[in-house]
Amino acid sequence: MAPEKIEALTSTRLKTDEMIINMGPQHPATHGVLRLLLTLDGEFVKHVEPVVGHLHRAQEWQGQNRTWFQYQALIDRVDYLSGMFTSWAMARAAEKVDGCQVPLRGEYMRVIVSEMNRITSHLLWLGTYGIDLGAMFGFPFYPFREREKLLDLLEAISGQRMMFNYIRIGGVQSEAPPGWFAKVSEFVKEFPDRVDEYEAILTNNPIFIKRTKGVGILKKQLALDYGVTGPSLRASGVPLDLRKTKPYSVYDRLKFEVPIHEGDGDTFDRYVLRVKEMRESNEILRQCLEQIPGGTADELRERRKACNSCGKADCSNCGGDLMIMAKKQNAGLRIKAGEGFDAIESPRGILGCYIISTGGDTAYRFKWRNPSFCNLAALPDLLIDHPIADIMAIFGSIDVILPDVDR
């Protein structure tokens, strides 16, 4: 057949239409309620428009209409997989405005529970990422086994599995229950083996590598332009981790590495980076358990028998570094007038909180800088010209949590 005839056949008679398809908000794999308006050419994505806001709960407005004490309990729900971090960001911003100093033991407790929370968050990501790639029934339950242990521990200390309300303005809510520290050290000891287990299933799995290598490459410049933070940014070669670059709390006393992947990262690099981060968090936990002033809660209780748990600030067993809370927690909690911003490194990236207080029992203005929202912005650029199957591989790999996007 003559070339022009073939041309005529393929270009006119076999003309195909693009299909517009609505992925979500009720789609089993959008991690919540994201709506993606996809324009497909066959199996390939030609255009994407993420529609966010289905889970908008006016978190900032609620903060301005509730007392500080009430809002502390609510703020865990913003990012329900890493509640400790949202509480912590708000507590730090409020402490900055108020000028109160968190006692050292309180800071250590914050780091311990947050790093545990970071591990649970990454474990959940690992499990659901397996589901996104189609490992529907096998792999996802292994990370959940360890996550369950951590959640039990977090429940023991805070009273709740996911909405902890444990980190408060001025410190942490309560001392650990008996035997808690021993259980945490037990977990810290066995966890690296468990991570080896996950890696044995996934890292060298040919199908997993085929599905993830070279897929969804996030260029360094693109990531910086969109304000992507967290593991997704570090997998693209930018060593930005607030724990290291602008150490807060007691992170400057701890020895840990921030895993970086050199060059533009694909989904596989982001996976590897998160797995490494879990190992690092475990290492941080181990150091914290050694360094924490006063030792375990059980030892401290023994010491405090001498002074009958007097709770006085100048007592050598109860006060100073050994306190966990510097501000009285009651419904009339007030923050001094002023404004302040503070950011911390959450499992998803930089989580910032901006507060204006007029000195009353409610805030004048709240503003959140949520990592998921900025990370999601880069998604359309990553998806173009990928097949449908890769949408979930890429979307899962940037680890977005929808309530955190919509607030």
Partner 1 sequence: MNPAVFEIGKFARLTVIWLSIIFGAVWAACWAVGVFAPALINASGMPTETASLASEVLRALVPVVAVAVFIPINAMFMVLCERRALALFTVRKGPNRVGPDGLLQTAADAVKLLFKEDITPHGADAVMFTAAPIIFFAPSIIGVLPLLAAASGNHELFRSVNLPTGIFYVLAIASIPVVGIVMGGWASNNKYSLVGALRSAAQAISYEIPLVLSIVAVCLMAGTLDVVKIADQQKDSLLSWNIFGGGALLPYVNLVVAGLQGNNEQVQAIMQHFQAQPLGPFAAVLMVVCCIIFFGIYITGACAEVNRIPFDLPEAESELVSGYNTEYSGIKFAIFFLAEFTNLFVVCSIASIMFLGGGHAPLPGLEQGFTEMLGGILKQLPGSKEIFSPGWLINSLVNPSTVSQAFWIILKTYSLVIFAILIRATLPRFRIDQLMAFGWKRLIPLSLILLIALTYLRELV
> Under rule CB under 8 A, which residues in 251-310 are in contact with partner 1?
none
Return the ∠ at Cα 343 (arms to 296 and 351), rounded to 5°. Answer: 95
Return the ∠ at Cα 255 (arms to 374 and 369), rounded to 5°. Answer: 15
CB of residue 61 to partner 1, shortest distance in Å: 34
Looking at the Cβ atoms of 3 and 28, the one nearer to partner 1 is 28
Does the footprint of partner 1 cover residue 392 (CB under 8 A)?
yes
Looking at the Cβ atoms of 74 and 217, the one nearer to partner 1 is 217
Calculate helix-pair angle for 104-132, 267-291, nearest 10 degrees: 150
Does the footprint of partner 1 cover residue 332 (CB under 8 A)?
no
> Under rule CB under 8 A, which residues in 33-52 are in contact with partner 1?
43
Residue-wise DSSP of 6-30 = HHHIIIIIT----EEEEE-SS-TTS
CB of residue 13 to partner 1, shortest distance in Å: 20
Looking at the Cβ atoms of 19 and 51, the one nearer to partner 1 is 19
Calculate helix-pair angle for 180-202, 141-158, nearest 10 degrees: 160
The answer to whether 121 and 347 have CB atoms below 8 angstroms apart is yes
Tell me which of 134, 239, 359, 360 binds partner 1, using CB under 8 A: 134
Looking at the Cβ atoms of 208 and 373, the one nearer to partner 1 is 208
Does the footprint of partner 1 cover residue 207 (CB under 8 A)?
yes
CB of residue 54 to partner 1, shortest distance in Å: 17
Tell me which of 139, 181, 198, 251 binds partner 1, using CB under 8 A: 139
CB of residue 377 to partner 1, shortest distance in Å: 22
Does the footprint of partner 1 cover residue 334 (CB under 8 A)?
no
Q: Which token pair is 109?
A: 């407790």
Phi, psi of 369 (to 5 degrees): -110, 105
Does the footprint of partner 1 cover residue 391 (CB under 8 A)?
yes
Where helices occur in 246-363 by DSSP H, the ranges are 267-291, 297-304
Distances (CA, A) of 400 to 141, 374, 377: 20, 9, 10
| Host H or E run for residue 234 | helix 231-234
Q: Report which of 235, 249, 233, 300 is spatially closest to residue 109, judged by C-alpha positions.
A: 249
Looking at the Cβ atoms of 130 and 340, the one nearer to partner 1 is 130
Looking at the Cβ atoms of 145 and 365, the one nearer to partner 1 is 145
Tell me which of 25, 27, 301, 354 binds partner 1, using CB under 8 A: 27
- Binding residues vs partner 1 (CB under 8 A): 19, 21, 27-29, 43, 130-142, 145, 201, 205, 207-208, 210-211, 387-392
